[in-house]
């Protein structure tokens, strides 16, 4: 049998009510014993309740310590948590010693000493006051700060993650200009930028393992690792005449690296592709690729691949060398991105997109 439901982060809230009820009923029993002097069993019942209350405080304190250690504590709640923990310890010691005293006085006849029941009730009332202060701090942690509330913890974690993402986007996000030109150089937080600012038309971000790395020349880049998958992702606004450039290292990648532009959707776009030592220029229409030009382009290490689309002219460069040149009807303005298909690791250093007049 499972005692703790899945939605409950701790058993402490279920236990804490026992000492509160037991000790309050014990004090009420003491007060009734003072009023109803002829009812001899009331002081005995009160003593038993105090002893049970003290024992339940031990369980409440232990589970409270565990709950506090496991909970997500926001910075503004730490002082309240410390006060709650200190008061809980004081309450435990207070009623622990008081319970021992009541046990020692278990067989004392209070009727023969009329002042003793009153003194014991006053001492108990002081302890109840400390107990209330402890409970108030606990309630403040839950109902004011949301500590230990799973939904609140999740919301707080989501907020913290959002703050991290916003910081990463501000520090190393895609840089855009008024004319629609944009560029991106991976920096710290590049993994977040990649997943948040690029739109995936084929595949999902989860298909790519990403990691910001430095190569053997201390060149910072984003490693994109695929396992026989295909992903097409774009960024920026739709552009007409455009020059798009990507710098990368595909020495450890088997497959095609395609610089795509004028992307209408996953089935319609222009491209230049580096694959098997060839640079290919073409167009995909309704999912079918048509090659306009192709030429050998041996590439090793870091290479810069550039596509230029101006009117009906389409050019593909590797470095500063023109490799392919084609002609065709101009597509409507579209976005720029990359299509990666294959297995292995690609190091991405920069994407630079310029809107041409």
Delineate the domains of the chain, giving CATH numbers in brackets. 12-148 (1.20.120), 175-355 (2.60.120.560)
Report how far apart, in Å, the C-alpha atoms of 263 and of each of 32, 60, 116, 271, 326 are: 84, 63, 90, 9, 18
Computed on alpha carbons and rounded to an integer, the radius of gyration of the chain in Å comes to: 36
Residues 6 or more apart whose Cβ sits within 8 Å of residue 113: none
**The predicted structure's pLDDT at residue 1:** 41
Structure tokens given for 157: 């974690």
Once rounded to an integer, what is the mean pLDDT over residues 324-334?
A: 88
154-165: average pLDDT: 58
Q: Residue 218: its pLDDT value, please?
A: 56
| 287: region left, alpha or beta (phi > 0 left; psi from -120 to 50 alpha) | left
For 280, the 3-state DSSP assignment is strand
- Asked if 184 and 193 touch (Cβ cutoff 8 Å), the reply is yes
pLDDT, one tens digit per residue, over 197-220 is 899 999 888 888 888 888 766 578
Q: What is the DSSP string of 145-190?
A: T-TT-HHHHHHHHHHHHHHHHHHHHHHH--EE-TTS-EEE---TTH
CA-based nearest residue to 190, from 214, 207, 173:
173
Give, in degrees to the nearest 5, the angle at Cα 178 between 270 and 219. Answer: 65
Confidence check: pLDDT of 154 > 70:
no
Please write the tens of the pLDDT for every residue from 46-94: 889 999 999 999 999 998 888 877 776 777 778 888 898 899 899 999 9
The residues, any chain, with a CB within 8 Å of residue 333's CB and separated by 6 or more, are 238, 239, 240, 262
152: pLDDT strictly greater than 60: no
Of 131-145, 286-300, 309-323, 337-351, give the range with the top mean pLDDT.
337-351
**Hey, CA dihedral for 288, 294, 300, 302, is it positive or negative?**
negative
pLDDT band of 137, cuts 50, 70, 90: confident
Alpha carbons within 13 angstroms on the beta-carbon side of residue 150 total 6
**Of all helices (H) and strands (E), which one includes residue 346?**
strand 334-355
Q: What is the mean pLDDT of residues 305-320?
A: 89
**Residue (of 353, 330, 247) closest to 283 by Cα position:** 330
Which pLDDT does position 282 carry in this prediction?
92
Mean pLDDT check: name the lowest of 72-81, 126-135, 163-172, 273-282: 163-172
For tokens 């222009």, name the residue: 270
pLDDT at 195: 84
The larger pLDDT score, comparing residue 151 to residue 254, is at: 254
Least confident residue range of 4-18, 130-144, 257-271, 292-306: 4-18
288 pLDDT more than 80: yes
- Distance, in Å, from the CA atom of 9 to the CA atom of 259, rounded to the nearest integer, reads 49
Beta pairing partners, 247: 304, 350
Q: What is the mean pLDDT of the chain?
A: 84
Least confident of 153-162, 281-290, 348-357: 153-162
Degrees (nearest 5) of the Cα angle 206, 211, 212? 145
Per the DSSP assignment, residues forming a β-bridge with 278 are 275, 296
Q: 139-155 b/e with 16+ CB inside 10 Å = b?
A: ebbeeebbbbbeeebee
Specify the DSSP class assigned to residue 337.
Answer: E
How confident is the model at residue 108, as a pLDDT? Answer: 60
């Amino acid at each position: 049998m499972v005692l703790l439901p899945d939605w409950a982060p701790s058993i402490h809230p279920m236990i804490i009510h026992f000492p509160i009820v037991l000790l309050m009923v014990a004090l009420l029993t003491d007060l009734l014993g003072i009023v109803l002097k002829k009812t001899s069993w009331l002081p005995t019942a009160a003593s038993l309740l105090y002893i049970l209350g003290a024992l339940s405080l031990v369980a409440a304190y232990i589970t409270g310590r565990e709950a506090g250690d496991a909970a997500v504590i926001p910075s503004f709640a730490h002082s309240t948590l410390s006060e709650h923990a200190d008061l809980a310890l004081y309450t435990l010691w207070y009623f622990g010693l008081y319970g021992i005293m009541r046990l020692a006085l278990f067989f004392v006849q209070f009727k023969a000493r009329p002042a003793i029941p009153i003194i014991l009730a006053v001492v108990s009332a002081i302890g109840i006051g400390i107990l209330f202060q402890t409970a108030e701090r606990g309630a403040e942690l839950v109902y004011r700060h949301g500590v230990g509330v799973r939904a609140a913890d999740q919301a707080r974690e989501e907020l913290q993650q959002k703050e991290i993402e916003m910081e990463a986007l501000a520090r190393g996000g895609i840089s855009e200009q008024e004319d629609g030109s944009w560029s991106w150089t991976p920096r710290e937080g590049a993994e977040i930028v990649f997943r948040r600012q690029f739109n995936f038309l084929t595949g999902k971000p989860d298909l790519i393992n990403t990691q910001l790395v430095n190569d053997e020349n201390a060149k910072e880049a984003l490693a994109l690792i695929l396992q026989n998958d295909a992903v097409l992702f774009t960024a920026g606004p739709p552009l007409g005449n455009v020059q798009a450039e990507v710098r990368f290292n595909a020495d450890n990648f088997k497959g095609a690296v395609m610089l795509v532009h004028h992307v209408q959707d996953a089935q319609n776009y222009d491209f230049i592709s580096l694959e098997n030592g060839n640079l290919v220029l073409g167009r995909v229409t309704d999912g079918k690729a048509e090659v306009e030009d192709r030429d050998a382009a041996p590439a090793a290490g870091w290479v810069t691949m550039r596509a230029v689309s101006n009117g009906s002219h389409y050019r593909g460069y590797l470095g500063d060398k023109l490799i392919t040149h084609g002609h065709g009807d101009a597509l409507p303005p579209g976005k720029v991105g990359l299509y990666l298909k294959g297995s292995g690791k690609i190091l991405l250093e920069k994407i630079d997109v310029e809107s041409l007049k």
